[in-house]
Amino acid sequence: MTMDKSKQLSFWQMFNLSFGFFGVQIAYALQSANISRIFATLGADPHQLSFFWILPPLMGMIVQPLIGKYSDRTWTRMGRRKPYLLVGAIIAVLVMLFLPNAGSLHFSTRVFLGLNMAMWFGLFSLIFLDTSINIAMQPFKMMVGDMVGEEQKTEAYSIQSFLCNAGSLVGYLFPIFFTWIGIANEAPEGVIPDSVIYSFYCGAAILILCVLFTFFKVKEMPPKEYAEFHGIDPAKSEEKGEGLMSLLVKAPAAFWTVGLVQFFCWAAFLYMWTYSNGAIAVNCFGVPVSDSGMIDTASKAYQDAGNWVGVVFAVQAIGSILWALVIPRFKNVKAAYIVSLLIGAVGFASIFFIHNQYALFVSYFLIGFAWAAMLALPFSILTVALEGSPYMGSYLGLFNCTICLPQIVAAATGGLVISLVGGSQPAMLMIAAAFLVLGAASVLIIKTKK
């Protein structure tokens, strides 16, 4: 059987399909730009900072394949993917209301396994936040694969990419916006500033509203229509299904070769999210560093640097939006991938040498080129390789491990790596540049479906 190409979606149907992604990405941007700032404010040592990023992707590796597997077999009145989307969004909203208050809940100063209780609260909140964001995020990718024909997939994923980066832009700028209108950007030692707390509150409100919009506007296909649309044998689509390990064994070559590229790319960006705040504070805001590598996180300069991280991350999102318009002009997908990652590597490396906060715009704008490629090209290559498979959700869930695993490895080894570079957080972004170069080299071995 072949895919039914007769069903075309309008622009607004494809827009509605991904609109909730805008809200989800605001939450993800707030997490990415502020987690290191939050934990540093709560008292985390820079050598421990990367460890706070281990458990979230570990949970993602466990949860995402299961979400893909079970949503492949979930056919309800509410839809196939939408129930998971709604549950993930609700959990994310609840956590976003509590996480930034970790320093304000008057925990005792008792220390357990080297962490105070406020950091333990923040750590478990982060685990639930990252897991719930991923639960809410994955169904959007799956629904495009489910409901959009092959000839419209590029347009549909482009719309999703635009909404993703637009959400990032809003999330990154929230703290500096609230500071600009007079919300306090400083707080007592160990307490998160109100500018960050209000950012999470607003992000939570927008997240649930956007997700509810998509939930009520989009109607997923029933099983028979889905099988006809994708050219799947109905009898095969109703089978119990294969186990995740069996699917891994049978995964197309593109799954593994793109996964190798993903390993280097996501390790690089884990370092960016973890160490940008400290690197910018030291290089551009003159925050002093002790012999042990500790930074004065209670200082006004450090909190100003935290706001500036949101600004440069917003610049990165703008670079990603604009470069996403250029990528389709490449005649060769692998060439687009390599060029994007190498330009991103230049952006990372330049941060080490820059001591002017405005010059960082160029660095993070270039990093946006790599981010644009990471958002679009891996899923484009993989979904083409999987066309006609009844296990699209399962494979996309398993593919999420190529995002989570490198973050776990990078986080677990971050303390050792930063020790090797003398505790320098700017140097960690030079390491990130090297990872992107390795990622670009790995693109050469990608096996694509002709």
Backbone angles phi, psi at 116, to 5 degrees: -75, 165
- Residue 1 in any domain: the answer is no
Q: What residues form DSSP beta bridges with 115?
A: 112
- Residue 355 in any domain: the answer is yes
- Residue 31 in any domain: the answer is yes
- Residue 24 in any domain: the answer is yes
pLDDT tens sequence for the chain (450 residues): 344 445 787 888 888 888 888 998 898 888 777 776 677 666 655 556 566 667 667 777 777 777 777 777 777 777 788 888 888 889 888 888 877 776 555 555 565 555 656 667 667 777 777 778 878 777 887 787 778 776 777 677 777 878 888 888 888 888 888 888 888 777 666 677 888 888 999 999 999 999 999 889 888 777 777 777 766 665 555 555 566 677 777 777 778 888 899 999 999 998 998 888 888 888 888 777 666 556 666 677 887 887 788 789 889 988 988 888 888 778 788 888 999 999 999 999 999 999 898 999 999 999 999 998 888 788 777 777 776 666 767 777 778 788 888 888 888 888 888 888 887 888 899 999 999 999 999 999 887 654
Q: What residues form DSSP beta bridges with 79?
A: 76
Q: What residues form DSSP beta bridges with 25?
A: none
- Residue 83 in any domain: the answer is yes
- Residue 46 in any domain: the answer is yes
Number of H helices, E strands in the chain: 17, 2
- Residue 107 in any domain: the answer is yes
Which residue segment(s) compose the domain that 133 sits in? 11-445
**How far lies 3's CA from each of 148, 150, 156, 230, 325, in Å?**
11, 8, 17, 4, 28
128/135 Cα distance (integer angstroms): 10
Q: Which residue, chain included where needed, has tokens 């976003």?
A: 96
CA angle 431, 163, 174 (to 5 degrees): 70
Which CATH number do you get for residue 77?
A: 1.20.1250.20
- Residue 145 in any domain: the answer is yes
Q: Are 118 and 107 in contact (CB under 8 A)?
A: yes
Q: Provide the domain count of the chain.
A: 1
Token duo for residue 450: 């002709």
